Structure 1
Amino acid sequence: MSRTAEEIGRTETGPRPLPALGEQRAATNLSSVDTVLPNGLRVIAVHQPTVPMVELRLRVPFAGAEAAHAATAEVLAATILTGTAKRDRVGVDTELALVGGELSAAVDPELLSIGGNALATGFGTVLAVLADALTGAVHADDEVAGEKARLIERITVARSKPNVIARLALQRHRYGDHPITREIPEAADVAGVTAADVRALHAKAVLPRGSVLVVVGDVEPARAVEQAAAALAGWESDRSAAVLPALPHLTPGDLLVVSRPGAVQSQIRLTAQSITRTDPRYPALQLANLAFGGFFSSRLVENIREDKGYTYHARSYPEFTPDGATLLIDTDTASDVTAAALLEIRYELGKLAIGGLTESEVDTVRQYAIGSLLTSTSSQGGIASQLASLAVLGLGLDWLVGHPDRLKAVTPEQVAAAAQEFFAPNRFTGVVVGDVEILAPLKHLGGVTFPE
């Protein structure tokens, strides 16, 4: 006869004791090379032979001051892998498929990103296709027209979604007209992009100097760098890739209510200035954030989801930029409980800032932080993506491998100090998006500005 999970977990004398957690160990035997090629491209190659594959991540700083830059950049990313003078779209796809490979491109206000993978034996082929796209993408008229139509449709749908509306409103509230706010271009701007515009932007902005290529897999690092140097030798320029201008420091202040008439849900987005990963206080801040809202058993989730039932989803998390970082808190609630949810968020912020964390809480979030990091870097793709994110901040493998030890060294007192410094409610600003009529109770909380 089968037994239930509860029966299996108990003995005649009571619940079966759980085994002690095993020691979490970072990968410390990863051989690597981190160097800069003559063309100014930084290459980080890591030997991780768990499977006979190789992962590539290219990050090109891709900022632009012009209002139309975001639209042209989106079309460029959509067409950079659709054909060159040597390979048409079918040729690119076929050549990659023959080595079990793929490549894809995306863009945001900060970076043009190209990533993919292949069998380790096909590393040279992927490099050849990548180099051809970087130096010889033709952005054909018909490809640009087709991708523009698809982009316009996706952008139109995206801009109607509440979470996108809230994100764009938050960015404008935080940074005004700074280029970082142009995360999703206007459909009309995309419609106005020409193939000539895309080709001109490619020639001007797809540059190696200041860019980073990360290679992780069943490849010998020095040999991988040699192959990358040979394949990408023709990708060169005396100019450097364009980085974003420095962001303004966030000023604490009122939450701005953004009107969305008829909305049955509200989007709450809070934000505050934070610190970079290289700051000595960062490990303690990371643990304080996890305890507040960084994982499912956090205080925020326990309060407004599990206890009050105000929301299905709530979280807090860091967001890193080239020259800084911010903290963000976001949740979506039914319109009629928005004020109550915001009150509880502020309560949890104040409680954390004043009371800190218990030793047990610190140990729990420490285990979670270390375990999550080791899990995310247990695969070739995970290491490659983590390194690519770190590399654009000037960091490398040493930081990644050493971070578990930094987390282990954090004391409850340091976490309490970080909570007090960074989670005080009066450090935050942000937006609330929803139906203004239903959100009227927010006026009684203070610290909220309504549209005139």
Structure 2
Amino acid sequence: MSTATHRDAAEIGRTAKGPRAVPLLGDQRAAGNLSSVDTTIGNGLRVLAVRKANVPLVELRLRIPFAGADPLHPAMAEVLAETILTGTARRDRIEIDTELALIGGEVNATVDPERLSVNGSALADGLPTLLDVLADVLTSASYVDNEVGRESARLVERLAVSRTQPRVIAREALLKHVYGDHPVTREMPEAEDVAKVTPDAVRALHARAVLPRGSVLVVVGDIVPESVVSDIEKALQGWQADAEAAVLPPLPAVTGRDVLLVPRAGAVQSQIRLIAQALPRTDPRYAALQLANLAYGGYFSSRLVENIREDKGYTYSAHSGFEFTGATATVGVDADTANDVSAAAVLETFYELGKLALVPPTEEEVESVRQYAVGSLLTSTASQAGLASQLSALAAGGLGAEWLAEHPARLAAVTVEEVAQAALDYFAPVRFTGVVVGDAESLAPRLAALGGFTVGEPAQS
């Protein structure tokens, strides 16, 4: 039996001569020197192929703009994403799954108001098969009646469960409050609309909306980029259309105004969601704003987390971060709190916004968030999957591997003064709006005392 005694972190961190020295940070190296090709092939598809040969795998990310004005579009799009991989003119679902399994691969599809995403991975030497399956799906997905019926029924069940989740309720309430009837608010279809979707409607949507022009395919892995681009063009030569994939209409600007209290009777927790206009990655000031956001609530040692989690215990987690939709960028703040401290948490959240604007981050804070920003960027792109996903997100804004390689240098060049100005310009409390979802009977009097709140319609749950 061991007689060793337990030592806590403070004891482990000390030596006989005093506190153990923290090792210096190593040099932060950018995700540069990537062999890549960024081009548009004959059918109008933009292809970004990047060599990252640390493991003999390949990652694929296809992003197709997929907006639609039809009231049934969200339902049809969701059913399409659920069934696009269930069979083609040449393969049924089992044959697709079997061929992918033989190359250590998988493919999945998801959709949101902005895009249809088809993501896949495989052993590097299985890329020809992966591309063949992708081409087959894009050009001849069959959407047979029984598959559409089965997946639609499952989708209706999932929607019913999802719409009882507080975070989903808060997300839908926030989008509606900020963007009104804009298509971006329809992230989830209505269950009754899904029930109306027919296989013919899904096939018609595929024919008119699953288009190469305006779409982006990112391939990362143990590949030769120039050869892969040629292979992709050959594999996808049958995917042709004169029309261009449908882009989501520009979002209206977010303006600061009253926060909406969304009643949810009997709720024991509240969801706090705030939002303001921000800067896209293409803006020269984005790096400074990124550091200001980290200082406010973008990582665990941020001011907001230190205040309402560590100091006051109002929430288990609080966070602020960016969301990019087309050319538009917003910064959001979220926290879930118990009802009895929700008003206090809102007060402290706005207090920290004002404090960041008027008492900007110190040189020490800026250096800390700078190191975190560079380190987390390098960590997120260390794997092939992470790099592929990052490049796919950047491609949506017209950016590529060069931006990723150059961003650590931009972060390194940001001054304390630039971060302070970004904080003043973009984190002032008057720029924010949002929602608080919770029990109005207990919350309304307290939030009214703070001012700047309007009571809305009850949440549907």
Q: TM-score, normalised by structure 1?
A: 0.99
CA contact (8 A) 2:48 2:218 kept: yes
Deviation at residue 259 of structure 1 after TM alignment: 1.1
Instruction: Select 2:339's aligned residue among 335, 340, 347.
Output: 335
Q: Aligned-pair distance for 1:451?
A: 3.3
Equivalents in 1 of 2:205, 2:343: separation in Å? Answer: 46
Give, in whole Å, the separation in 2 of the partners of 1:11 and 1:160. 53
Please report the RMSD computed on the Cα atoms of aligned residues, expressed in angstroms: 1.0
1:62 match: 66
Q: Is residue 2:455 matched to residue 1:450?
A: yes
Q: Which position in structure 2 is the counterpart of 1:100?
A: 104
Correspondence list, 1:66-77, <5 A: 66-77=70-81
Q: Helix, strand or coil for the counterpart of 1:151?
A: helix
Matched, 1:438 2:442: yes
Q: Of 172, 196, 199, which aligns to 1:168? A: 172
Tell me the distance in 2 between the aligned counterparts of 1:437 and 1:262.
Answer: 9
Is the Cα–Cα contact under 8 Å of residues 361 and 419 in structure 2 kept in the other structure?
Answer: yes
Q: What are structure 1's unaligned runs of at least 5 residues?
A: none
How big is the shift at 1:429?
0.6
SS of aligned partner of 1:241: coil
The Cα of 1:68 is off from its aligned counterpart by 0.5
Match of 1:267 among 263, 271, 275: 271
Give CA-to-partner distance per residue, 1:75-100, whole Å, 9 cap, x none.
00011011001000000000111111
2:396 to 368, 392, 395: 392
CA distance in 1, matches of 2:299, 2:19: 27
By how many angstroms is 1:335 displaced? 1.0
Shift of 1:363: 0.5
1:247-396 pair list within 5 angstroms: 247-396=251-400
CA distance in 1, matches of 2:163, 2:10: 47
- Residue-by-residue CA offset, 1:208-250 (whole Å, 9 max, x unaligned): 0000000000010000000100000000100000000111111
Three-state SS of the structure 1 residue aligned to 2:321 is strand
Please give the alpha-carbon distance, in whole angstroms, between the structure 1 residues aligned to 2:175 and 2:169.
Answer: 10
Aligned residues: 452
| Pairwise CA distance, 1:2 | 4.6
- What is the DSSP-based 3-state SS (H/G/I as helix, E as strand, rest coil) of the residue aligned with 1:438? helix
Query: What are the Cα deviations for residues 110-154 of structure 1, in whole angstroms up to 9, with x where unaligned?
Result: 000000100110000000000000000000100001100110111
Matched, 1:29 2:44: no
Please tell me whether residue 16 in structure 1 is matched to residue 55 in structure 2.
no
CA distance in 1, matches of 2:23, 2:209: 55
Alignment counterpart, residue 112 of structure 1, candidates 105, 112, 116 = 116
Match of 1:212 in 2: 216
Aligned-partner residue type, residue 266 of structure 1: S
Normalised by the length of structure 2, the TM-score is: 0.97
Contact 2:52 2:223 in 1 (8 A): yes
In structure 2, what is the Cα distance between the partners aligned to 1:71 and 1:113?
Answer: 16
Distance 1:371 1:2 in 2: 36
Deviation at 1:9, TM superposition (A): 2.8
SS of the aligned residue for 1:21 comes to coil
Q: Which residue of 2 aligns with 1:423?
A: 427
Cα offset for 1:8? 4.2
Identity %: 65
Residue correspondence of structure 1 range 104-183 to structure 2 within 5 A: 104-183=108-187
Answering whether residue 230 of structure 2 is matched by residue 226 of structure 1, we say yes
Q: SS state of the match for residue 430, structure 1?
A: strand
1:252/1:12 Cα in 2 relative to 1: closer, same or farther (>3 Å)?
A: same
Q: Kindly state the Cα deviation for residue 392 of structure 1 after the two structures are TM-superposed.
A: 1.0
CA distance in 1, matches of 2:357, 2:301: 18
Hey, which bits of structure 1, 4+ residues long, moved more than 6 A? Answer: none
Structure 2 unaligned runs (5+)?
none
Distance in 1 separating the partners of 2:255 and 2:19 = 52
Distance in 1 (CA, whole Å) between partners of 2:232 and 2:423 is: 44
> Secondary structure of 1:332's partner?
strand
